[in-house]
Structure 1
């Protein structure tokens, strides 16, 4: 018995049932659970026949046959006035036929992913429609600008090293720009989906996704104007900084996944403490009945996909790359301490990505890389704590400064005591 073929047919049937279930549930008159199952199996059977006969034109004939059946179905339904003028189900039918044929010689894992994505996209029709209707002109502009940054500019940049220490690779630098702009754009559209009044916890999370520094400035100013929200503002600031540390872990996972197993544990240890501080600050504010009305509204962030923003980050990242290379050349790996502290004041992303790429090139030890990443994040915490103390109310400083100080001291102890050598 050919178990591989049985698994292939079972996978084809399962994906057809999944997509067909969604179409049946949506009440589409053209095709439902049985039709989609048969279409997907039809594609797989023709794929097997084509493979055995080495005549792949038969798959093209199958596409024409499915398209003709869909057209005939629409024509007959139009006679009764019961027809959906949209083309979603028809395109989905052709896709599932193609997917069934692909499974014969392609990857089952890829086929399952495509089938799952198809079912989810069909099911999210209403949600996606509402999302698109809620977009403004500037939101479409943000999407198009990100497309230009990632799909137009990135492919044409040279993939070779230039400049001092030959560490400036235009394509690599711009790839880091795409990563950071993409993360910011994700936070921006999450804000658009959740709205301005998403709640205190969500404000802190969004603040960390978009910009923890901007969030610190915003809510420090607000606490100065309305001192009664100082505890809640402190919670938002601490939460935003906690999410900023999660960003570091995500960036390492994307840029240097092979080293994530060594870098993540100490960072997660510090993250655990910060989460505890967030929870404690939240319950402290709730227990004291702080005024929540004035803090709920999250200010709308700027478009993170602006070309000017991308160029600024690209230039900053390039400077950090040169700084890391120069510090290592003149002072050894210990010189990276100063670079991490200075760059951490303004932007933790740039030094994190620079260290991750330096690690990939073998220019730094993995145990030193995560230490300098943490030091940069502590430098950023100190900078934001100073802003909160200067800009915000005394009550805000009373809660933010001890929380940040505890985090920094604990983090330095982690750096000091964490076992090295993997």
Structure 2
């Protein structure tokens, strides 16, 4: 490495050490604090640089063993100040050294990202312990099942087409099933952080990550049984719908990034139009709002993951057959039917056709919007039938504004990527 490059590595190393060291200093972690972690990160960078320049790779592990021995000796020599002799600070100590060493090997972004994650894990110790204690045995089992699916079963699936039109690729089906479950799981975990009762706005936003239909159903019921005002329920339902649009953007970015230049203006228009009614309802709400309880199914359950995989495989076959037999019109028909209950499956199957060059971007957008519109009609029916006419009127206005925003966004000129 030339002088400017090694100087940059040392500066970043110092920053990493100070970042982790500040947190350990705040936590009163014994003999290892701000200066110790800054020095250990610089030591890692120095050891890696010397090992690389001198051609002696064994120097790096020897230096690591040396600094660990010095840290242990300091705690043994002054046990009264070794207030945190546990493994957490020790592991952070070793990681800090290794992160400093990684900078010499041009892994700057990875090293900085890991340093930020390590600091967050150390800082949120109390909150993380609280989360684990609130998880039930069934939830932990579901998370383990999800981990087995994602990291054990998924790599074993064959990566080739099966069935009619070779539409079902088990590896792709598994990847998208895991992706959807992971997104739903993030929303479920966020909901669990707010205990059993949450403000309606938070319920809508986070509930939409898990299931906008389930959120709509729960809030509609509570306008009758729990005394939640229709305007308040409508606010949560409309915010859940906004979350669905954000989900679609994320799915497109992962499954077919090439469609983003055409999709993002549409999503932006839908979000802009869809926020008008929630903001208007929010301004009309009283300062004191009733709490809302919502029970959602853990999306990490094995049954949920396999259920989506089966649905996605079925939609893949149906969309391939419809496109082959009826062209674009067949895709719109499938979107209108499947979108009533689930938007993710038809969205992913359409993006797959777009990625394979079988449909144009305009067609893919039209199919996704058709599914989204069908889903809105279905949820509006739930609100009208369960939540009453007042809630349905507010929700209908918000849905119309959102669809209008989507259409306006679709009419905007798109610059080629």
Q: Is the pair's TM-score, using the shorter chain for normalization, greater than 0.5? A: yes
**Which of 307, 313, 318 does residue 312 from structure 1 map onto?**
307
Structure 2: gaps spanning 5 or more residues: none
- SS of residue matched to 1:98: helix
Task: Tell me if structure 1 keeps the 8 A contact 2:29–2:82.
Answer: no
Structure 1: gaps spanning 5 or more residues: none
The structural deviation recorded for 1:197 is 2.3
Please list the CA deviations of residues 282-329 of structure 1 after superposition, one character each: whole Å capped at 9, or x if unmatched.
Answer: 224x1xx59842xx2221211111111111111111111112211221
The structural deviation recorded for 1:171 is 0.9
**Residues 1:101 and 1:355: Cα distance change in structure 2 (over 3 Å):** same
Query: Which residue pairs with 1:36 in the alignment?
Result: 37
CA RMSD in angstroms comes to: 2.1
Structure 1 segment 36-55 matched on structure 2, within 5 A? 36-55=37-56
Query: Which residue pairs with 1:250 in the alignment?
Result: 250
- SS of residue matched to 1:224: coil
178-187 or 124-133: bigger deviation: 124-133
Residue 3 of structure 2 corresponds to residue 8 of structure 1? no
Residue 301 of structure 2 corresponds to residue 276 of structure 1? no
Residue 359 of structure 2 corresponds to residue 364 of structure 1? yes
The structural deviation recorded for 1:74 is 2.4
**Residues 1:37 and 1:403: Cα distance change in structure 2 (over 3 Å):** closer
Please list the CA deviations of residues 320-360 of structure 1 after superposition, one character each: whole Å capped at 9, or x if unmatched.
Answer: 11122112211222321111111110100111111222222
Please list the CA deviations of residues 244-273 of structure 1 after superposition, one character each: whole Å capped at 9, or x if unmatched.
Answer: 121111111222223212211112101210
Query: Which residue pairs with 1:74 in the alignment?
Result: 75
Question: Aligned partners of 1:56 and 1:131: how far apart in 2?
Answer: 42
Residue 109 of structure 2 corresponds to residue 109 of structure 1? yes
**Residues 1:43 and 1:5: Cα distance change in structure 2 (over 3 Å):** same
> What TM-score does the superposition give when structure 1 sets the normalisation length?
0.92
The structural deviation recorded for 1:392 is 2.3
Question: Aligned partners of 2:76 and 2:157: how far apart in 1?
Answer: 50
The structural deviation recorded for 1:27 is 1.5
**Which of 391, 395, 409 does residue 396 from structure 1 map onto?**
391
Query: Which residue pairs with 2:99 in the alignment?
Result: 99
The structural deviation recorded for 1:209 is 1.2
Please list the CA deviations of residues 86-112 of structure 1 after superposition, one character each: whole Å capped at 9, or x if unmatched.
Answer: 111111111111112221113212121
Question: Aligned partners of 1:60 and 1:139: how far apart in 2?
Answer: 40
Query: Which residue pairs with 1:262 in the alignment?
Result: 262
**Residues 1:411 and 1:263: Cα distance change in structure 2 (over 3 Å):** closer
Question: Aligned partners of 2:6 and 2:415: how far apart in 1?
Answer: 48
